């Protein structure tokens, strides 16, 4: 496994991982698979906001999973807070890929002077809940019946990690 910075050349691999999560899980509350056009817009936003997209590849160059973070809320006072995501290709789950990605995206958030990371996790996704708890994230709230997918109501849980950064935060 090797850590990489994902670029537009990884669009199809990321799209495949996203679409598997959309079609087969409640990890994403989307109904319809995305397309390459949505990936172009997604990468445009990541570039504009300077938010990282990291991944892990096999020695053969197959993307095993990726992690990113983005704006938590639009108001300026939230500038030190981000919402993160970690996705692992189905064939690589249970092999430590998610843990490796989460560890590295946390380190990037610290390096970039952020203070709080939040993950929004479907309550039925106990693998992700356990991973986040094991990495020091704390449950900070549940929005019950916030989504409806696969014929049932979904509860959304929030897990946050307070980082020791930035060392000198400022208003404005």
Cα 52-56-60 angle, rounded to 5 deg:
135
CATH 3.40.50.620 fits 2-162, yes or no: no
Ranges of each domain in the chain: 2-162
Residue 160: strand pairing partners:
118, 138
For residue 147, what are the contacts with CB-CB under 8 A and spacing of at least 6?
26, 29, 122, 153, 154, 156
Q: What is the pLDDT along the chain (172 residues), one digit of tens a residue?
A: 899 999 999 999 999 999 999 999 999 999 999 999 999 999 999 999 999 999 999 999 999 999 999 999 999 999 999 999 999 999 999 999 999 999 999 999 999 999 999 999 999 999 999 999 999 999 999 999 999 999 999 999 999 999 999 999 999 8
Per the CB < 8 A criterion, the answer to whether 129 and 159 are in contact is yes
Are the C-beta atoms of 99 and 64 separated by less than 8 Å? no
Q: What pTM did the predictor assign?
A: 0.95
How big is the chain by its Cα radius of gyration, in Å? 16
CA distance linking residue 34 with residue 31, whole number of Å? 9
């Amino acid at each position: 496994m090797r850590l990489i910075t994902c670029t537009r050349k990884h669009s199809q691999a990321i799209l495949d991982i996203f679409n598997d999560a959309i079609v087969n899980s409640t990890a994403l509350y989307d109904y319809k698979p995305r397309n390459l056009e949505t990936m172009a817009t997604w990468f445009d936003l990541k570039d504009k906001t300077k938010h990282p997209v990291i991944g892990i590849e096999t020695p053969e160059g197959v993307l095993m999973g990726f992690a990113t973070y983005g704006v938590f809320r639009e108001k300026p006072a939230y500038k030190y807070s981000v919402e993160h995501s970690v996705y692992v290709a189905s064939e690589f789950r249970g092999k430590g890929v998610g843990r490796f990605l989460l560890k590295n995206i946390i380190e990037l958030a610290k390096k970039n002077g952020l203070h709080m990371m939040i993950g929004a996790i479907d309550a039925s996704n106990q693998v992700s809940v356990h991973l986040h708890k094991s990495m020091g994230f704390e449950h900070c709230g549940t929005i019950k019946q916030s989504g409806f997918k696969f014929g049932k109501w979904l509860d959304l849980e929030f897990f946050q990690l307070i980082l020791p950064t930035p060392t000198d935060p400022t208003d404005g």
